[in-house]
A and B are shown apart, each in its own frame.
Chain A
């Protein structure tokens, strides 16, 4: 059974606003906690106006106290509320790791199933334009490592709307969602929504069908993969692209089925490679059936350093359309000198400021 997306034409930002609105409207016990949620900027416009409609007793402007506030959310969840806690940069949640890892993730198991901790933590990955080492991290693997947490990385408006509704209405445990700042202004048309490959909105998604190479990607890298795939399609290379979405719960069959067909695998994640999503996808293939691979796996992600601010370095810190396309072509053709013309794009950030979709 596959889940059908209910998306309409919305920007990522609008989708987030709708998701927040629907959560508050649909559950009188839903609460939204965050620094700046009720100010005139409203978390990049994703919470604007909600306090007027639902009241400041439910939209709770909080002090800078990430650990305390996360603990407040857990306590509220234990006492019948559905808390949503938003951090304008994912980096700031590092102050709350005790509550998330030691408490929220374990509150069910540690007490033998006596409690549920239904809550949603929204984290925004900052990127580009000198965000630097402490405002740009992509921390999915830290969370996905921990049993008890469900970690999603919505890569489209439909994915936001459906996944957040699922989190609020159905899921009974803590969900960590990593949103990507560069996607906020992108509009997603329903026909470009990837197809959900499982029974719930948390399932993996198929971005495009192809036969030459499997690309497993996360968040904005799924958009990049689609762009690279479109470029390569007219040059004779066909990509099978899987948007991982729920990085903590990967359907190994989805990946294996694809790799068995293509024989080649490229993982494009928004974060560092060691111990991360790239490593995890490789683990799955290596443990399931490494024999399906006809070439070594290629992984793309951030350089193994803190993020530098200088544009000259930031541009080579992240993969971009050119390096991604090159990597795919090299993998498929089996050689560096593969004769495939490459798109020229120095920085992804420049593009996304203007980029209006599709997808």
Chain B
């Protein structure tokens, strides 16, 4: 049960709202074809990113996936540069070369996101190894979907992290779907007890809408990492409202039912705290308008950019 809204909760709600509304703006803009980049929207899953990032210091670093808008924003990436990136403009955070699936902002510890499922998991482990060698109190989070745990590299990464006791927090963002395939069809093992069998400490948050809990649990786990306790494993259950990729709804596609969404919709912080949200809408909208205006005004990358930064 969430406690009465305080400043902290308001901050988290505002961030959740910002992510929701900016993605909704993406949906609005999408038919105009101004955003020519496949978008994997996090709508419904935003609290996971918000809670995790709340617990991270700016020095802590994060590796994530193609479903990365929420993480980019929650970790502190700037909005205008995000929009310009989605627009493929020179003002984008990566000059228009990254698009939606490869968002990064190293200055705030957002170390990149990859379109290849599971491919950033070992990066988190290697980065944590480097942090440990330097003796820094830096913690690393690597986020991946439930589908990613089927990839061999997840298992290789888990083993290496445990073997070398590196300060990495594995976060499985479990929406119980890989594209349109359910967990039961794909997995013959229980990921949590499997990770436990590696000797890694595991935690599961059933309600991925509980901003405060996610923030608190993450803070505790990161503290343990910094104290040299070795890797930690966290699963957060959540729900994707939109189609796997693209701006649409797909409850009529046959692989899931609208009723599945009900409980999540109810616990959605933006619905639970609708009153608070209402008071934030105008400001959030203005912020997004500015970001869109920036993107619109930003020039496309010059042809010379084609061959810069290749190596």
Contact = CB atoms under 8 A, between A and B. Distances in A.
Q: Do A and B interact directly, with beta carbons closer than 8 Å?
A: yes
Interface of B: 61, 63, 92-98, 102, 104-106, 111-112, 114, 116, 119-131, 133-134, 138, 140, 152-153, 155-157, 159-160, 163-164, 308-311
Interface in A103-134: 103, 107-115
Interface stretch (A59-67, A255-263, A307-315): A59-67
A81 B128 CA distance: 11
A115 B102 CA distance: 12
- Most B-side CB within 10 Å, residue of A69, A71, A74: A71
Interface in A51-75: 57-58, 60, 62-63, 65, 67-75
A78 B122 CA distance: 12
B87 to A, nearest CB: 14
- Most A-side CB within 10 Å, residue of B92, B116, B138, B160: B160
A71 B126 contact: yes
Minimum-distance CB pairs A-B, first 10: A71-B122, A75-B126, A68-B156, A112-B94, A72-B126, A75-B123, A65-B156, A113-B309, A79-B127, A112-B95
Interface size class of A (residues with CB under 8 A): 35 or more
A102 interface: yes
Interface of A: 29, 31, 57-58, 60, 62-63, 65, 67-81, 83, 98-99, 102-103, 107-115, 147-150, 172-173
A58 B159 contact: no
Contacts of A67: 122, 152-153, 156
A58 B122 contact: no
Contact of B310 (A60, A80, A108): A108
Given A75-B63, A76-B129, A114-B104, A99 B163 contact: no
Contacts of A60: 129, 164
Contacts of B309: 108-109, 112-113
A28 B59 CA distance: 21
Contacts, number: 152
A148 B309 CA distance: 9
A99 B133 contact: no
Contacts of B126: 71-79, 81, 83
27 contacts: A31-B129, A57-B133, A58-B133, A68-B152, A70-B122, A71-B119, A71-B153, A75-B63, A75-B130, A77-B126, A78-B111, A78-B112, A79-B111, A79-B128, A79-B130, A79-B131, A80-B130, A81-B129, A81-B130, A103-B114, A103-B119, A108-B311, A111-B102, A112-B97, A113-B309, A114-B112, A148-B310
A13 B138 CA distance: 38
A98 B96 CA distance: 23
B124 A75 contact: yes
B97 A99 contact: no
A38 to B, nearest CB: 14
